[in-house]
Amino acid sequence: DAGITQSPRHKVTETGTPVTLRCHQTENHRYMYWYRQDPGHGLRLIHYSYGVKDTDKGEVSDGYSVSRSKTEDFLLTLESATSSQTSVYFCAISEKGGANYGYTFGSGTRLTVV
Amino acid sequence: QKEVEQDPGPLSVPEGAIVSLNCTYSNSAFQYFMWYRQYSRKGPELLMYTYSSGNKEDGRFTAQVDKSSKYISLFIRDSQPSDSATYLCAMSGTSNYQLIWGAGTKLIIKP
């Protein structure tokens, strides 16, 4: 997807290991979001950022931390991966605050915790 | 009960048919309503955005909001095989960062 890149695209990791997912944008958008998508649940917000070093929790933040040291990068860390964190993770960006402005999503990271 | 309910499908229709996709919601504070389309192995992309009640049309797509019934719809006219995707509804109230999502309806358009 133009302007937003997620890495890695796929990852298999063992229970108990830390994992970091990266979201990189070239749009210079202020707002960045991490979602997870699971069958039957839709998209659920994990954490979001409204500026460099400014982050806040979403509805499913337990077991996750984030960092944003530069406008273009938003990192999601699973501190000690569990099987319940097997999911597809999406990063999204928006130019302005307010969910009504619409998001641009990355292509996702498919994470499997074994 | 989830705040937003959406039939997961799959909904299978022949090419050229009119498609109706729907979501119901429980929170009367929702003011902004969106439809996203998601192709397999891709991220969602914004398709339609509506504020408050009423209709909005964009090409073959029409979004409709009925706040009195807490019901939103997306209509696709002259459906094409390329419309085959999962359609997600999303909505928000006065909170700036929280979109509430439906689980998505998988749509299949048969040639």
* Residue A100 phi, psi (nearest 5): -70, -15
Residue A52 φ then ψ, to 5°: -60, 125
Q: For residue B74, is pLDDT > 60?
A: yes
pLDDT tens per residue, range A53-67? 999 999 999 999 999
pLDDT above 90 (res A82):
yes
Is it the case that residue B94 has pLDDT exceeding 80?
no
**Which residue out of B33, B37, B51, B97 would a mutagenesis test of the A interface target, given it has the greatest number of A Cβ atoms within 10 Å?**
B97
**At B81, is the pLDDT very low, low, confident or very high (cuts 50, 70, 90)?**
very high
What band does B98 get if pLDDT is binned at 50, 70 and 90?
confident
When the pLDDT of each residue in chain A is averaged and rounded to a whole number, the result is 93
Nearest to A108 among B4, B43, B104 (CB): B43
Judge contact between A58 and A50, C-beta under 8 A: no
Amino acid in position A39: P
Using alpha carbons only, give the angle A6, A7, A10 rounded to the nearest 5 degrees: 110
Label residue A40 by pLDDT band (50, 70, 90): confident
Residues of B in contact with A39 (CB under 8 A): 103
Mean pLDDT over A2-21 rounds to 95
DSSP string for A3-35: TEEEE-SEEEE-TT--EEEEEEESS--SEEEEE
Q: What is the pLDDT of residues B14-53, one digit of tens each?
A: 999 999 999 999 999 898 899 999 999 999 999 998 888 8
Which helix (H) or strand (E) segment is B30 a member of?
none
The mean pLDDT of A17-34, rounded to a whole number, is 95
In order of A49, B31, B63, the CA distances from B93 in angstroms are 19, 5, 18
Name the band, by pLDDT with cuts 50, 70 and 90, for residue B99.
confident
Q: Which of chain A's residues have a Cβ under 8 Å away from the Cβ of B43?
A: 1, 90, 92, 105-108
Own/partner pairs for B68-71, CB < 8 Å, 24+ apart?
B70/B24, B70/B25, B70/B26, B70/B28, B71/B22, B71/B23, B71/B24, B71/B25
Residues of A in contact with B45 (CB under 8 A): 104-105
In chain B, which residue's Cα lies nearest the Cα of A41?
B103
CB B108 within 8 A of CB B13: yes
Residue B95's pLDDT band (cuts 50, 70, 90):
low
Closest partner residue to B104 (CB to CB) among A42, A45, A59 is A42
In sequence order, the 6+-apart residues with CB closer than 8 A to the CB of B69 are none
